[in-house]
Amino acid sequence: MPDGHQTTKEKILETALKLFSRKGYLGATTKEISAESGVAEVTLFRHFSSKEALFEEVLSTYSFLPALREIMPSVRNKPYEQALTEIASAHLDILCKRANLIKIMHSEVHIYPEKIRKIYFTYIDEIFRTLAAYFDEMQKKGYLRKFDSFLAARAFFGMFYAYFASAHIFMFNKYNPHDTKCLIREYVGFFVRGTLGEENKNHD
């Protein structure tokens, strides 16, 4: 239930997240979202000009991108392996929290209107670019070897998304928090050893 201290906009966003997660973008209507939020549909449209705008705000609020942007300043001055571990842990945490939304989007994204697909993939692209900027900084400091930072960011997040998908979308394995900690440690270790500059491999 929406909290009594929430603003109307927050109530609408929280309800939209719930209904998009249950019915998908195509299945959830603004009429349903407004009714479950306890507001008139016209009120919803005062806050969000369209269903597309509402969906974009849901991604802006609840996706991994805002979480990543929030933690990046704090990890920039930490040891490389620790920084990547914290990023990976936060990534998997958000993926698991948003598992229902991700599952239904995974199944229907191919039939989304072009505008919605563009919004969705723009957020994914920005997640990659945010981590790529960190890799660029580390390369300029001479800490990392030269490589394509955007492709590296895709590879890094791809490792953990593949693990999440196998457990939550394809149900290939049971999600286990202890196993996840071990997996993060191993995956981050693989990545660190593959990206460090030669002179730093014995000093991280």
- Residue-number span of the structural domain to which 168 is assigned: 63-200
The most confident of 48-62, 94-108, 160-174, by mean pLDDT: 48-62
Q: In angstroms, how far is the first alpha carbon of the chain from the final one?
A: 47
pLDDT for residue 42: 96
**Percent of the residues in the chain that have a pLDDT greater than 90, as a whole number:** 68
- Cite the DSSP H helix spans in the chain: 8-27, 30-37, 41-47, 51-62, 64-75, 80-97, 99-108, 114-140, 149-168, 177-195
Mean pLDDT throughout 168-190? 77
pLDDT for residue 2: 46
Domain match, 82 and 183 both: yes
Model pTM score = 0.85
Residue with tokens 């939209």: 16
Domain match, 75 and 162 both: yes
Domain match, 42 and 111 both: no
Structure tokens at 44: 């919803």
Indicate which CATH number applies to the domain containing 14: 1.10.10.60
CA separation for the pair 104, 28 (Å, rounded): 12
Residue 149: pLDDT band (50, 70, 90) is very high
Indicate which CATH number applies to the domain containing 158: 1.10.357.10
Model confidence at 16: pLDDT above 80: yes
Summary mean pLDDT of the chain: 89
Model confidence at 204: pLDDT above 60: no
CA separation for the pair 13, 19 (Å, rounded): 10
79 and 143 Cβ atoms separated by less than 8 Å? no
pLDDT for residue 112: 86
